[in-house]
Amino acid sequence: MKWERDGREVKKVTGFDVARRAGVSQPTVSRALRNLPGTSPETRERVLRAAAELSYIASDSARSLSTQSTRRIAVVSEELTNPYYPELVEPLRRRLAEHDLRTVVITDSEHRAVGIDVLADGSYDGVILTTCERRSSLPRDLTERGIPHVLVNRVLDVAESPSCSVDNVGGTAAIVELVADLGHRTVGAVLGPVTTSTGRERAEALRAGLRARGIRLRRDMVRRTSFGHDPGRNAAHDLLRRSDRPTAIVCGNDVIALGVLSAARERGISVPEQLTVVGFDDIPMASWPIIDLTTVRCDLDALARTAVELLHAEPARPGLAPVERRIPVSLVLRRTHGPAPA
């Protein structure tokens, strides 16, 4: 897949070409272009001009090979079509850029399995995992290879790597309080996958919270699905079909909640009069007037800042528990919640 131009193949301009043109040596070019000391102003000037004339761009492979560092961080997100993740990528990119690190997004929604071989071939100085499952071996592999990494928004069953995630327990507690205070007694839930810490933590906090308020969360009122609109919608139909249908449905995240709203709409169940729906994440969409979803917000910029901070911190030591930060959340009251119907 080499392209040609004017019939001849375009040859890459190297530091030697620049050196020849400027009448200096290649190392001098290297030093001049990076403003290292030990180059006279005139020489630097000549080099800069030659480099500009030749449109020289230093080979990243060669530099990486030589310096053993790439100044590049991989952000792994296997669910890029879930609006939450692009929203998370941007602040991460901004924060990384502040440290002069380039961001590269790696995704694979198909097999949901970006391999260690892709991440540990020396292409990246660090890895940020945003969609890691509870028992993923990726963090351990990265640790063994000495590659700096952080889990964002997810944690492992056996904490092994630094992580920062949202306060799922606190957020869910706020939801429970809201739902209980509104008088709901028949509560349903469409929660995220058991394989994810987000799905699991929110589920457990919900069960525990409701129990503490004397509300039973019946097993058959709970559905677990993947984090998507259609799965949420299907699950909600299951719950809303029944005669003793719930008056409130707590959702694993906002996208699921949107699916629940869709199901309610299809069944002619009005929200919030007949059904309360609460999400989690506060994706931008949730605040749109056509949606106006009551949900839990987390400051993604704080999450990103912490993640980048941890990436630079000391790595996990065998034996020592790794750093595990939690970002606080807050309930956002909009218009999908209301008092339980009589």
**Using CB under 7 A, which residues numbered 19 to 38 contact DNA?**
23-28, 30-31, 33-34, 37-38
**Greatest CA separation for the chain:** 88
CB of 304 to DNA, least distance (A): 28
Report the Cα–Cα distance between both ends of the chain, in Å, rounded.
69
Q: Which stretch binds its own copies (CB under 8 A): 21-29, 39-47, 66-74, 209-217?
A: 66-74
Q: Of 6, 42, 100, 244, which one interacts with its own copies (CB under 8 A)? A: 6
Residue 178 sits at the vertex; the CA angle it makes with 177 and 179, to the nearest 5 degrees, is: 95
Q: Of 2, 5, 8, 12, which one interacts with DNA (CB under 7 A)? A: 12
4 interacts with its own copies by CB under 8 A: yes
Question: How many binding residues for DNA (CB under 7 A)?
Answer: 29
Task: Please report, as residue ranges, which positions from 46 to 105 form the binding site for DNA (by CB under 7 A).
Answer: 56, 58-59, 62-63, 65-68
Q: Which stretch binds its own copies (CB under 8 A): 37-45, 145-153, 172-180, 239-247?
A: 145-153
Q: Of its own copies, DNA, none, which one does residue 80 interact with (CB within 5 to 8 Å by kind)?
A: its own copies
- Distance, CA of 84 to CA of 334 (rounded, Å): 19
For 68, counting Cβ atoms within 10 Å of its Cβ (0-12 exposed, 13-18 middle, 19+ buried), the class is exposed
Q: Of its own copies, DNA, none, which one does residue 15 interact with (CB within 5 to 8 Å by kind)?
A: DNA
244 interacts with its own copies by CB under 8 A: no
Spatial contact of 331 and 174, defined as CB atoms under 8 Å apart: yes
Residue 151 tokens, joined: 């889990």
Q: Of 9, 10, 16, 314, which one interacts with DNA (CB under 7 A)? A: 16
Which residues, including other chains, have CB under 8 Å from residue 191's CB and lie 6 or more apart?
Answer: 199, 202, 203, 206, 222, 223, 224, 225, 250, 251, 252, 256
- Distance, CA of 220 to CA of 202 (rounded, Å): 17
- Distance, CA of 236 to CA of 249 (rounded, Å): 8
CB of 215 to its own copies, least distance (A): 27
Give the Cβ contact number of residue 72 at 10 Å: 16
- Distance, CA of 156 to CA of 162 (rounded, Å): 10
Task: Please report, as residue ranges, which positions from 67 to 126 form the binding site for its own copies (by CB under 8 A).
Answer: 68-70, 80-81, 83, 85-87, 89-90, 93-94, 97, 102-110, 116-118, 120-123, 125-126
Spatial contact of 298 and 172, defined as CB atoms under 8 Å apart: no
- Distance, CA of 69 to CA of 63 (rounded, Å): 8
Task: Please report, as residue ranges, which positions from 35 to 54 form the binding site for DNA (by CB under 7 A).
Answer: 37-40, 42-43
318 interacts with DNA by CB under 7 A: no
Task: Please report, as residue ranges, which positions from 283 to 302 form the binding site for its own copies (by CB under 8 A).
Answer: 284-285, 288-291
Q: Of 150, 300, 311, 340, which one interacts with its own copies (CB under 8 A)? A: 311
Q: Which residues bind DNA (CB under 7 A)?
A: 12, 14-16, 23-28, 30-31, 33-34, 37-40, 42-43, 56, 58-59, 62-63, 65-68
